[in-house]
Amino acid sequence: MTDWRVLLTRPAEESSALAATLSEAGIFSSSLPLLDIEALPVTAEQHAVFRDLGRYSAVIVVSKPAARLALHLLDQPWPQLPWFSVGAATAQVLADHGLNVHYPPSGDDSEALLALPALREAIARPGARVLILRGEGGRELLAERLREQGASVDYLELYRRLLPVYDAGALMQRIQLERLNGVVVSSGQGFLHLQALAGEDWPEVAQLPLFVPSPRVYEMARAAGAEKVVDCRGASAAALLVALRSSAL
């Protein structure tokens, strides 16, 4: 049992699973999803990329929505090539459909993925080409590092992230009603949506401890005025639990 009472901001289904894990550890949470996932219209480009996946040295899937939408779009057997994901949860979505997916054993960010020997081996081949399946924007550091190591990188965007519609003041009302003393965001986009929803209440929200998944989001939050930011070094429930238990109120 801890004294933390945290706000979860992931999409509803993910927040529900995370809340159950936190509850088992004696941590109270309240969910206010700040990301809605909307699939982009299916295009001829998407179909063309999936028909010709064999030209890639590696495919990287950056999120569970990207994995689910990719599986939905594919209308033929998966080519035998290396598959990678940023975290274990995304890997599991793909593994459930028979894919052998490589992912970092510890940490679930771009830096941990780039350190994987299997990925290094895949991009060391002459003319290596990598496909990144993602939502609109994001993971620019990953592509930049891959290009620095000699690989060419293509993106295929499958969805966009939207801020759900809430009444003005909904964020601060939830924080006060539930007596919350911490906020959890799982991505840079989630942090931007947190700021947008806070609006004129942002200076107050910025005083609460903010748990973020990576150094990149840590820097975003600090630059925006968040006073106490904790880098969980990953977006998994396990990473969040470690951060909560090691952070004093």
Q: Which amino acid appears at position 209 of this protein?
A: P
What is the CB neighbour count within 10 angstroms for residue 155? 18
Can you read off the two tokens belonging to residue 131?
């496909």
pTM of the predicted structure, to 2 decimals: 0.82
Terminal Cα distance for the chain, rounded:
14
Residue ranges of the alpha helices (H) in the chain? 12-24, 44-51, 64-73, 88-95, 110-114, 117-123, 140-148, 170-177, 188-198, 202-205, 215-223, 237-246
Domains recognised in the chain with CATH numbers: 5-35+166-246 (3.40.50.10090), 38-161 (3.40.50.10090)
Establish how many alpha carbons lie within 13 A of residue 100's alpha carbon, considering only the half-sphere containing its beta carbon.
Answer: 5
Q: What is the pLDDT along the chain (249 residues), one digit of tens a residue?
A: 479 999 999 988 889 989 999 999 999 999 999 988 999 998 888 888 888 888 999 999 998 899 999 988 876 566 678 999 988 889 999 999 888 899 988 766 778 888 899 999 999 989 999 999 999 877 678 889 999 999 999 999 999 999 999 998 999 999 999 999 999 999 888 999 999 999 999 999 999 999 999 888 999 999 999 999 999 988 888 889 999 999 977
The pLDDT value given to residue 57: 94
The predicted structure's pLDDT at residue 100:
83
Say what the pLDDT of residue 77 is: 61
Length of the chain: 249
pLDDT of residue 78: 65
Which is it for strands 83-85 and 101-102: parallel, antiparallel or unpaired? Answer: parallel
- CA 30 – CA 199 distance, rounded (Å): 20
